[in-house]
């Protein structure tokens, strides 16, 4: 069972037709075996990585943890605390050599940043989720997911930020109140379309996350960070280099956008925003103290 409106074949078809090279299908507590799909859906140009949204709860609040590159279904775990519930699901995914990522912390205002900081063995955080009800931006005293990310990074966590669709609606209208595909994605560094390599690279931050801005390259040298933006028609770009506490250290309107790395900073990440409001998030570079 899926709570989306289309079967796996049609979902895979949508992503394939729109230029994606890999995809994780993550239904709630359902495992879709890529091998069960017709061979034409996964060829040398497209990889379906097996996954599941391990869907649990704590005191009626949603605790959803994606399992990436898992061998089969993982049963949702419960515990007597919020942290314990998250950790048990993370651990269940790790136990089968999958990679966990905690979904939409602000959905149902379920998972606060102090709790997230205590979770072990989770390296990926959703900083953008395309579902309309997940409160990416926070509000009313609750931090947005980028603020949460900076809190975790500033507290010494090596967390990498991902953007996802959480797509449910492939049919009917596409719009801001619908959970359509194509809203948030990642671009990973890899030599080949190999699930192990892609997931391993995600877990060490060899990727960027996007809602529409594409990058040509990210170069990190001991003294410099350089971001090459793929120019789209006459769009203009603004790049913020962000450090400890979420502080904007520098603003660039150039392409490439560059930043001199100095040794007193704990981390530097970058955010490229285009003149239409789309964003690319470059993963943090950690600087030895």
Is the Cβ of residue 70 or residue 242 nearer to Zn ion in the bound state? 70
Cβ neighbours of 249 (radius 10 Å): 16
Whole-angstrom Cα distance, residue 243 to residue 252?
15
Q: Considering only 59-67, 202-210, 250-258, 259-267, which stretch makes contact with Zn ion by CB under 5 A? A: 59-67
Is the Cβ of residue 55 or residue 69 nearer to Zn ion in the bound state? 55
Tell whether residue 26 is a contact of Zn ion (CB under 5 A): no
Task: Verify cis geometry, omega within 30 degrees of 0, for the bond prior to 281.
Answer: no
Is the Cβ of residue 55 or residue 210 nearer to Zn ion in the bound state? 55
Q: Considering only 97-105, 174-182, 240-248, 249-257, which stretch makes contact with Zn ion by CB under 5 A? A: 97-105
**What Å distances lie between residue 154 and 36, 74, 143, 207, 281, CA to CA?**
43, 32, 15, 20, 17
Is the Cβ of residue 102 or residue 153 nearer to Zn ion in the bound state? 102
Q: Which of 47, 51, 54, 64 binds Zn ion (CB under 5 A)?
A: 64
Cβ(244)–Cβ(126) under 8 Å? Answer: no
Is the Cβ of residue 64 or residue 88 nearer to Zn ion in the bound state? 64
Q: Considering only 44-52, 63-71, 171-179, 219-227, which stretch makes contact with Zn ion by CB under 5 A? A: 63-71
The 194-233 contact track toward Zn ion, x by CB under 5 A, reads ----------------------------------------
Contacts of 191 (CB under 8 A, 6+ apart): 197
Tell whether residue 135 is a contact of Zn ion (CB under 5 A): no
List strands edge to edge, sheet with 124-129: 51-58, 61-68, 99-102, 124-129, 160-164
Q: Can you read off the two tokens belonging to residue 46?
A: 């497209």
Residues in contact with Zn ion by the rule CB under 5 A:
64, 103
């Amino acid at each position: 069972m899926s709570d989306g409106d289309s079967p796996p074949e049609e979902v895979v078809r949508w992503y394939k037709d729109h230029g994606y090279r890999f995809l994780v299908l993550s239904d709630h507590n359902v495992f879709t075996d890529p091998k069960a799909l017709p061979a034409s859906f996964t060829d040398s140009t497209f990889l379906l990585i097996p996954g599941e949204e391990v869907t649990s709860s704590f005191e009626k609040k949603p605790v959803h943890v994606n399992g990436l590159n898992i061998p089969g279904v993982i049963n949702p775990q419960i515990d007597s605390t919020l942290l314990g519930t998250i950790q048990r699901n993370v651990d269940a995914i790790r136990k089968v050599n999958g990679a966990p990522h905690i979904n939409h912390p602000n959905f149902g205002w379920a998972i606060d940043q102090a709790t997230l900081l205590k979770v072990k063995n989770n390296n990926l955080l959703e900083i953008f989720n395309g579902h309309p009800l997940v409160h990416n931006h926070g509000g009313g005293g609750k931090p947005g997911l980028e603020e949460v990310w900076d809190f975790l990074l500033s507290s010494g966590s090596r967390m990498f930020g991902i953007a996802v669709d959480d797509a449910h609606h492939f049919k009917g209208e596409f719009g801001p109140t619908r959970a359509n595909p194509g809203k948030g994605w990642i671009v990973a560094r890899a030599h080949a379309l190999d699930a192990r390599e892609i997931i391993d690279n995600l877990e060490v931050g060899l990727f960027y996350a996007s809602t529409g801005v594409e990058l040509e390259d990210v170069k990190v040298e001991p003294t410099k960070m350089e971001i090459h933006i793929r120019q789209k028609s006459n769009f203009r770009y603004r790049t913020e280099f962000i450090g400890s506490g979420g502080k904007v250290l520098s603003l660039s309107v150039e392409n490439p956008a560059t930043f001199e790395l100095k040794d007193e900073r704990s981390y530097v990440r970058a955010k490229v925003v285009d003149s239409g409001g789309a964003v690319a998030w470059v993963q943090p570079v950690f600087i030895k103290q």
